[in-house]
Each structure stands twice: as C-alpha cells, then as structure tokens.
Amino acid sequence: MATKYIIVTGGVLSGLGKGIAAASMGHLLSSRLKIVPVKCDGYLNVDPGTMNPYEHGEVFVLDDGGEVDMDFGHYERFLGVNCMSHWNLTMGKVFDMVRQKERRGDYLGKTVQYIPHVTDVIKGHLAEVAATESADLVIVEIGGTVGDIENELFLEAMRQLKEDVGRNNIIYVHLTYVPIPSGVNEQKSKPTQQSVNLLKQRGIFPDVIIGRCSEFLTRDIKSKISSFCDVDPEAVITGLDVDDIYEIPLIFESEGLSEILHKKLNIYSPPDLRKWKELIDNIKKPEKEITVAICGKYTKLFDSYASIIESFHHCSAHLKCRINLEWIETTDLTSMDFLDRVNGIVIPGGFGSRGTEGKIEVIRMARERNIPFLGLCLGLQLAVIEFGRNVCGLADANSTEMNDKTPHPVIDILPEQRTVTNKGGTMRLGGYTAVLREGSIVHSLYGKAEVSERHRHRYEVNPEYHNPISEKGMVFSGTSKDGRLVEFIELPNHKFFVATQAHPELKSRMEAPAPLFYGFVRACLK
Ligand code: GLN
C-alpha cells in the first residue's frame, strides 16, 4: 500500500487544539496502521529546547534526545508511539537544510528559490520520514493559522504534495471555529467560510472540516458549511469543547469521522475504543480524592508542567481517584501551612537557584513528617542535598549549579559530561537505561530490572559522595550500568520517598501510567 497522508491545517484562531485533533484522528486509525505524526512549525528556531517556557510551555524530550514542541506529547499519548526528533520540522531546520545544500553545490549555482527549492526540501523530508519508518499513514500538522506568513511555505509544499503522492492518497483536514455569539444563540458559519476561502486561495481544498464549537454542530450548520465550502455534509465534524481532551477521539467517532477517513483514503482500520472509554469514565466517577502539592518555579504556567499534569490524569483513570493539584511557588515560600492540606508532595524539574532553598525545606518536611514525596530530576538533586545537609552532616552541601563554592558539591557536573556538546550545551538528553536494585520500591513498581526513562539535565549526584550518603541510609535504587550515575533514590522506612534523575512523566500514557506516579498516588491514598 502506498503511504497515505492526512494534512491538518487550522483557521480563524490559534489555540483551537489542532494537535489534539490530529492526534485524536490518528488514535481512531491506529488499530491496523503504522502512523507517523509530523509537525511543521513556522518559527526559525532549529528546535524549541532553548525557548523560554513562558512563551513555549514544556520542552518535550524524546527517546532520541530531541527537544520538541509539546504537541509531540499528545501524539505519543494518543498514538502510543515513540516519536523521533526529525518528525518535528521547523522552518529553522528547513532553511538549515537548504543552506547546507547550497553550500555543498547541490543547486549548481542556480538561483535558490522558495519554490521549488524550499518546498522540495520540505516534501523530501516527509518522503524520507515515510520511507524510513515504513509508514502506512503520515499525519502532518501545519502549525499556526492559515493566513500567517510563517506557514505559507509549508502550505504550498502540502498543496504540491497531492500531485506527488496521488490524489487518492492524501486528504486535507481543516480545523475552524464555529462561534455561538451571546444574544444571537445560533451557530455561525462565516468564520469557517472565510478561513476555508483563505485555504482555497492557496490551492488547498479541504476534504474534512472540523468545527470547534461549544455544542454539537446542528444539521443545519453542517449543511451550510458543506454547501459554502464544497465538502460532503457528513465530512463536517464537531470538535466539541470538552473538559478532558481524551474525550475527543470518542466525540470524533460519534460524529462518524473514522468511516469518512476510511472512505476518503481507501483504508480500513476500525477503532476499538472500549478500554479508552472505560478509563475516561473512571475519571468522571472518582471514588476517592487526594491533593498533591507541586512545588516549583513556573507554577502559574501550567503548560510548563504539562506532562506532570497528564501523568496524574492517567493515574486518576487507573486508581479511580480525583487528584487535586495545588501549585506552590517556592520562590517566596513564607508558610508551610499547605502541608496540612496535602497528601503528597512533588518537586518537579527546574533550572537555576531561584526557589531551591524553599524546595529543600519542603523536602525536609516530607522526609521528617513521613509525607509521600516524588522528586523529578532537580527534585532528586535537592533531595540528595537535603539528606546531605541534615542527615549526613555535610554543612552547606549543595549543587554547583546553585553554589559553585560549596564545600560539599554533592551534585556536580561530571568530567565526562563537560565534554558532551549536545546542541551546544552539555545536557544529558533522551532515553538512558537504568539498572534497578532488587527489592527496592522502584524495582517493584516497574516490575523489571532494567528501565529506560528520558533525561534533560546537566548535573549528577557526585560519585565522591555515593558512599557517605548511602551509608546514612539513602538507597540508590537505580543507577547506570557502570554504577556511576544515580538514576533513582529512595528512603526505606518512609511511606513513599522516591526520586529520579529522569523525567518519567514524559512516557506516561493513558493506558499505562508512569510507574513512579502510580506508586506515589497509591501511597498518597493510604
Ligand atoms: N538543573 C538541573 C540540571 O541541569 C536539573 C534539570 C532538570 O530538572 N531538568 O541538572
């Protein structure tokens, strides 16, 4: 079978949930097809790794060490795939490739132009991804909104693609907005018509229109959109506002989307949504309730902790438990009163020294008061610092990230790490294997002796302090194969005190919650 393509564009407004719509569509088709999601972003950064979380949300790290847009989190969670960094194509990467070709002399001294040279590079990249992955279906999400200058070249390339891959192998799905103005109380199609017109001006004629709306689209509005925009009436689909994004595949299916996609692409891959639906129903009917404090720095920016929020959501579904997250800003922590309200504490990842002393104090409380604690990356480092200072008597122990003059650098950059020049930095990025100690909490939670989780950090537990710290009772329950890098720590004789140098939240899935989160929530419930 030739590779099929679904091109997803958006109109009217940004933020309508194009990534979730694309991932949900993929979910419906994933039973029999190998699906590869590709996201095209118009910005000129080569990757979002160094972009400010205020602007960009969480940096999502892939197994291969790629730092990509957080939309890839949705793809992984909805499609059950592990994505690769070159499935994220930014205009910065495209221009980089074009420039390299030009320098190599590939263009034989010709004028290098947007069309065909830039669009060829975009299409060539897609073809390469499809071929190396032996993809049955490639879902291409074009970032931004039609009419933006930034995505014009991607749109033009997608228009051309129809001729290259054959018209029976590609469809265009356009996500728009159907408002119901207050006072008028009627679904309005004009923004959709105008946005489809913008798309048509670029030579793209949508096959399916998804109208984001606060209600199901009426038969009337569907037929109006159908006639003004030249799509089949059954190909106008409601993109309903929902509280829980995991409901979107169910909504799409109730609107008949998979059948339309099957018909238009001549494929057959019927969805089985029973398990998914059962899990979503569990979330809606919780039998228990807990509150967890997330103590961090950007706590007003929920997007920078998106995967942590997701991980708890997955636990909710499996443990039939409502999990309230209480966001604690540790920069100006004046009171510890919140500890009386919460069942557990999470210290998430972070960079720089701001807020760290507050976090260390919170960890001390968690340890002394036997409150379940989960540390993620920086959370592990601070737990080691706290233990070093207050249990091992290492005065002013610290990470050299916070204080490079500390007498006890229990957390430090290792010499071997200094030479890594990953993307200009010295980060340990991507999936790394850890060996788990038999009989430990983490071993029993993962149910195996070797696990791979994703990393994004520079500093490590300093091997010179392994002995003094473990002698006092902190267990290094998971390490790199050579034992040099500490990947998991835990305290025995505590309700739950576990931390990892990795970011297990990045691999949590609705069908398979991250084991550490699962274990933590279970401990909070006790
Ligand atoms: N700042 C720490 C480091 O670079 C932790 C990073 C993180 O939490 N992702 O090692």
- The atom number, within ligand 1, closest to the CA of 427 reads 4
Close Cβ partners of 265 (under 8 Å, ≥ 6 residues apart): 4, 6, 137, 168, 169, 171
CB-neighbour burial class of residue 185 (10 A; exposed 0-12, middle 13-18, buried 19+): exposed
The model's pLDDT over 146-180, given as tens digits with 9 standing for 90+, comes to 999 999 999 999 999 999 999 999 999 999 999 99
- The atom number, within ligand 1, closest to the CA of 459 reads 10
pLDDT score of 511 more than 50: yes
Does residue 511 share a domain with residue 376? yes
Kindly give the distance from the C-alpha atom of residue 326 to the centroid of ligand 1, in angstroms, as a whole number: 22
Pocket test for ligand 1, best of 50, 61, 374, 377 (most atoms within 8 A of CB): 377
pLDDT score of 490 more than 90: yes
Task: Print the domain residue range for 242.
Answer: 4-272
Dist CA 57 CA 52 (whole Å): 8
Contact in structure between 307 and 506 (CB atoms under 8 Å): yes
Quick check: CB of 378 below 6 Å from ligand 1? Answer: yes
Does residue 364 share a domain with residue 253? no
Does residue 143 share a domain with residue 291? no
Strands (E), 200-355: 208-213, 236-240, 288-296, 321-329, 344-347
Pick 310 or 15 by higher pLDDT.
Answer: 310
The model's pLDDT over 204-251, given as tens digits with 9 standing for 90+, comes to 999 999 999 999 999 999 999 999 999 999 999 999 999 999 999 999
Mean predicted confidence (pLDDT) in 350-372: 94
Does residue 210 share a domain with residue 302? no
Residues involved in catalysis: 377, 503, 505
Dist CA 384 CA 377 (whole Å): 11
Query: Residue 22: which of 85, 83, 93 has the closest Cα?
Result: 83
pLDDT score of 494 more than 90: yes
Dist CA 161 CA 204 (whole Å): 11
Dist CA 526 CA 290 (whole Å): 10
The model's pLDDT over 283-301, given as tens digits with 9 standing for 90+, comes to 999 999 999 999 987 656 6
pLDDT score of 422 more than 60: no
Last-in-domain residue among 245, 272, 299: 272
Whole-number pLDDT of residue 202: 96
Whole-number pLDDT of residue 311: 97
Does residue 154 share a domain with residue 36? yes
Does residue 334 share a domain with residue 228? no
Whole-number pLDDT of residue 312: 98
Last-in-domain residue among 226, 255, 272: 272
pLDDT score of 50 more than 70: no
Nearest CA to ligand 1 atom 1: 351
Quick check: CB of 222 below 6 Å from ligand 1? Answer: no
Whole-number pLDDT of residue 298: 65
DSSP code, position 465: G
- The atom number, within ligand 1, closest to the CA of 352 reads 1
Q: Which of 303-312, 385-394, 432-441, 480-489 has the lowest mean pLDDT?
A: 303-312
Does residue 259 share a domain with residue 133? yes
The total number of structural domains that make up the chain: 2
Whole-number pLDDT of residue 304: 82
pLDDT score of 56 more than 70: no
Whole-number pLDDT of residue 425: 59
Share of the chain above pLDDT 70, in %: 96
The model's pLDDT over 114-137, given as tens digits with 9 standing for 90+, comes to 999 999 999 999 999 999 999 999
Whole-number pLDDT of residue 119: 97
Quick check: CB of 350 below 6 Å from ligand 1? Answer: yes
Mean predicted confidence (pLDDT) in 384-400: 97
Last-in-domain residue among 213, 248, 272: 272
Does residue 70 share a domain with residue 130? yes
**pTM recorded for the entire structure:** 0.92
Does residue 258 share a domain with residue 157? yes
Q: What confidence tier does 67 reach under pLDDT thresholds 50, 70, 90?
A: confident
Q: What confidence tier does 334 reach under pLDDT thresholds 50, 70, 90?
A: confident
pLDDT score of 424 more than 50: no
| Alpha helix stretches (DSSP H) within 402-526 | 415-418, 441-446, 466-471, 515-525
Query: Residue 138: which of 2, 5, 1 has the closest Cα?
Result: 5
Q: What is the CATH number of the domain that holds 411?
A: 3.40.50.880
Does residue 301 share a domain with residue 220? no
Quick check: CB of 457 below 6 Å from ligand 1? Answer: yes
Does residue 329 share a domain with residue 231? no
Residue listed under structure tokens 């990947």: 487
pLDDT score of 392 more than 90: yes
Task: Encode 445-463: b = buried (16+ Cβ within 10 Å), e = exposed.
Answer: bbeeeebebbbbbbbbbbe
Mean predicted confidence (pLDDT) in 318-332: 93
Q: What is the CATH number of the domain that holds 249?
A: 3.40.50.300
Whole-number pLDDT of residue 302: 72
Does residue 315 share a domain with residue 228? no
Dist CA 50 CA 191 (whole Å): 35
Nearest CA to ligand 1 atom 5: 378
